[in-house]
């Protein structure tokens, strides 16, 4: 057999079998290789959705710690013998803005350090741009000062000092020996802002003779200074412990903070009338609430500090810092109750469940 015919029979090729000329076969179209399906370019990285962006900003601003702020203004107003009012609300708004400005600025200033020690933080992980964090810090600072200005010039002056302290701490003082003192000064000024703003917007009283005494229970904003210093002392201790939350290894800082919390708790329970006022028997309900709030403060702050002192590992040290932050709420409530405003203290304590629930989702440290 002709070899060509044998090959044609096997392959089925009509050209090899001697058939007439065939039309050229249509060229085979090979689809272009395209990684994105629209032009052969690599796919753009997926942009985070709204929920992911919202969570990133929640972590940046540490919103679970935000509930420790309103109590500053309420405790300040109570310590000055004033009822909460429009000025108190303005002080709360200003404090929230300035607090969050400090949080955004803190992460912006620490972005290089966090890239090594905390790469999961929003800025080093790329979830929040550094420029956006800095812009947010500036905008929140301006908003806080604007709110304080509506409560009067004295309130604006205190808020300006608070804003300057926050920026100085984040940009320079944080890594110096003055860091804890700067944080303590910020909390002290925040409580004084509540007293000053409340006094600045209070309804003017009927002019009284110069020789007349100040109405019972009503004091000047400066009367809130002891309460402000107490809150500042607690803040100093918590900040001193927080300086070891990344590396751990410090037993002295938790022990010192534990001693400070015990001393502060004893001072809260000790009866001491305001200057210029006669001693007054404390109402049974108010005394019971004061004792309850003080106990909550000691329990929230002291137990994690004991654990951190016994085992100064980074996780237990961070837990002690978180406990110290949350303990500010019952401390503010106790300060308000000690000043004769137990109902304001109850209002402050109402923030505890919210802070605890959010702390499970977003770390306050």
pLDDT digits (tens, 9 = 90+) for 86-112: 999 999 999 999 999 999 999 999 999
For 295, residues 6+ apart whose C-beta sits below 8 A from its C-beta are none
Instruction: Tell me what the mean pLDDT of segment 281-305 comes to.
Output: 88
Return the structure tokens found at 101: 């400005």
pLDDT surpassing 80 at residue 179? yes
> Buried b / exposed e across 239-272, counting CB within 10 Å, b at 16+?
bbbbbbbeebebeebbbbbbebbeebbeebeeee
Q: How confident is the model at residue 361 (pLDDT cuts 50, 70, 90)?
A: confident
pLDDT surpassing 60 at residue 162? yes
Between 45-49, 92-96, 151-155, 235-239, the lowest mean confidence (pLDDT) is in 45-49
* Higher-confidence position of 285 and 262: 262
Q: What percent of the chain has pLDDT over 90?
A: 67
Residue 360 pLDDT: 82
Q: How confident is the model at residue 33 (pLDDT cuts 50, 70, 90)?
A: very low
Q: How confident is the model at residue 213 (pLDDT cuts 50, 70, 90)?
A: very low
Residue 191 pLDDT: 98
pLDDT digits (tens, 9 = 90+) for 259-283: 999 999 999 998 654 455 544 455 6
Residue 151 pLDDT: 96
Residue 181 pLDDT: 97
pLDDT surpassing 70 at residue 225? yes
pLDDT surpassing 90 at residue 255? yes
Q: How confident is the model at residue 1 (pLDDT cuts 50, 70, 90)?
A: low
Q: How confident is the model at residue 22 (pLDDT cuts 50, 70, 90)?
A: very low
pLDDT digits (tens, 9 = 90+) for 115-132: 998 899 999 999 999 999
Residue 76 pLDDT: 97
Residue in 160, 155, 165 with CA at minimum distance from that of residue 186: 165
Residue 5 pLDDT: 56
Cα 338 to chain center, whole Å? Answer: 26
Rounded distance, CA 327 to CA 296, Å?
Answer: 8
Rounded distance, CA 326 to CA 67, Å?
Answer: 9
Query: Count of H helices and E strands in the chain?
Result: 15, 0
pLDDT digits (tens, 9 = 90+) for 333-356: 999 999 999 999 999 999 999 888
Q: How confident is the model at residue 357 (pLDDT cuts 50, 70, 90)?
A: confident
């Amino acid at each position: 057999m002709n070899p060509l015919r044998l090959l044609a029979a096997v392959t089925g090729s009509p050209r090899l079998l001697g058939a007439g000329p065939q039309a050229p076969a249509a060229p085979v179209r090979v689809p272009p290789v395209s990684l994105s399906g629209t032009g052969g370019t690599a796919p753009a990285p997926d942009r985070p959705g709204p929920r992911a962006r919202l969570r990133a900003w929640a972590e940046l601003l540490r919103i679970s710690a935000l509930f420790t702020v309103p109590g500053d203004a309420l405790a300040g107003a109570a310590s000055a013998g004033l009822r909460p009012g429009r000025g108190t609300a303005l002080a709360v708004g200003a404090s929230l803005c300035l607090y969050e400005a400090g949080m955004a600025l803190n992460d912006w200033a620490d972005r290089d350090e966090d890239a090594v020690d905390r790469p999961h933080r929003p800025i080093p992980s790329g979830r929040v741009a550094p420029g956006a964090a800095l812009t947010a810090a500036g905008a929140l600072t301006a908003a806080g000062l604007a709110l304080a200005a509506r409560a009067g010039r004295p309130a604006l002056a205190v808020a300006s000092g608070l804003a300057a302290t926050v920026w100085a701490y984040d940009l320079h003082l944080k890594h110096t020996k003055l860091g804890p003192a700067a944080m303590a000064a910020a909390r002290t000024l925040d409580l004084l802002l509540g007293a000053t703003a409340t006094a600045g917007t209070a309804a003017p009283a009927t002019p009284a003779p110069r020789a007349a005494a100040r109405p019972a229970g009503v004091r000047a904003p400066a009367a809130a200074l002891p309460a402000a210093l107490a809150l500042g002392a607690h803040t100093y201790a918590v900040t001193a412990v927080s300086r070891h939350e990344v590396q751990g290894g410090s037993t002295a800082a938790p022990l010192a903070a534990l001693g400070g919390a015990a001393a502060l708790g004893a001072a809260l329970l000790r009866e001491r009338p305001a200057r210029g006022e006669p001693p007054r028997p404390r109402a049974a309900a108010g005394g019971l609430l004061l004792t309850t709030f003080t106990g909550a403060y000691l329990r929230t702050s002291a137990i994690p500090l004991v654990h951190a002192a016994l085992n100064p590992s980074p996780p237990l040290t961070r837990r002690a810092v978180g406990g110290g932050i949350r303990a500010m709420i019952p401390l503010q409530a106790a300060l308000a109750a000690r000043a004769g405003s137990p109902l304001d203290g109850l209002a402050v304590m109402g923030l505890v469940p919210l802070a605890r629930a959010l702390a499970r989702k977003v770390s306050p440290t």
